[in-house]
Amino acid sequence: MQSMFPRISLFALFMLPACATPVPPPNTPPAESSLYQAKRVCLNTYQTQPGQVAESNMGKLMKCLAKATQKYGRQAYGPYAPIYMEGASKGVEAAQYLHEGLYTPDQFGSEIGLIQEQENSAILQKKAQMNAPLDPILQPVPANP
């Protein structure tokens, strides 16, 4: 029965904010706060000591973080959400490799670092695309008075 407790408490904690408050607008501190709180619940649930997660809990933690990103990421990250969602799914995959013994803990840590670097690079590219001027052919032609 104790094994059910974390699952039930996580579900309740994820559902409570959704029932109690309206959805915050995208890319705002309240939206980011919802995501941060959900990720904090994941970490508090699966860490064995502050800042430490047992290897056996790493897959559960990464799945929890991915679910939090799926649920709150669109609001918190706006146009960058797909980048973070892809990173979260890669993190789940890396945790699976750790569980299967295909990665050592050091390799897992390196993979997570690589995923974060890829996310940062993709965000910079997306920002550059969003701020880049349109090609001259695609720019609107001013109306003649």
Other Cβ atoms less than 10 A from the Cβ of 66: the count is 22
The Cα 41–Cα 68 span in angstroms is: 9
Within a domain: 136: no
The confidence score (pLDDT) of residue 31 equals: 77
The Cα 44–Cα 113 span in angstroms is: 21
Structural domain that includes position 124? 29-129
Which one has a higher pLDDT value, 96 or 17?
96
Within a domain: 58: yes
The confidence score (pLDDT) of residue 140 equals: 57
Within a domain: 140: no
The confidence score (pLDDT) of residue 29 equals: 76
Backbone CA torsion sign across 55, 116, 88, 47: positive
Which one has a higher pLDDT value, 111 or 49?
111
Radius of gyration over every alpha carbon of the chain, rounded to an integer in angstroms: 19
Backbone CA torsion sign across 44, 41, 39, 58: positive
For the chain, the domain total comes to 1
CB 21 within 8 Å of CB 31: no
The confidence score (pLDDT) of residue 5 equals: 43
Within a domain: 89: yes
The Cα 91–Cα 112 span in angstroms is: 6
Within a domain: 43: yes
The Cα 14–Cα 18 span in angstroms is: 7
Within a domain: 47: yes
Within a domain: 69: yes
Which one has a higher pLDDT value, 133 or 130?
130
The reported pTM is: 0.71
Within a domain: 24: no
CB 91 within 8 Å of CB 117: no
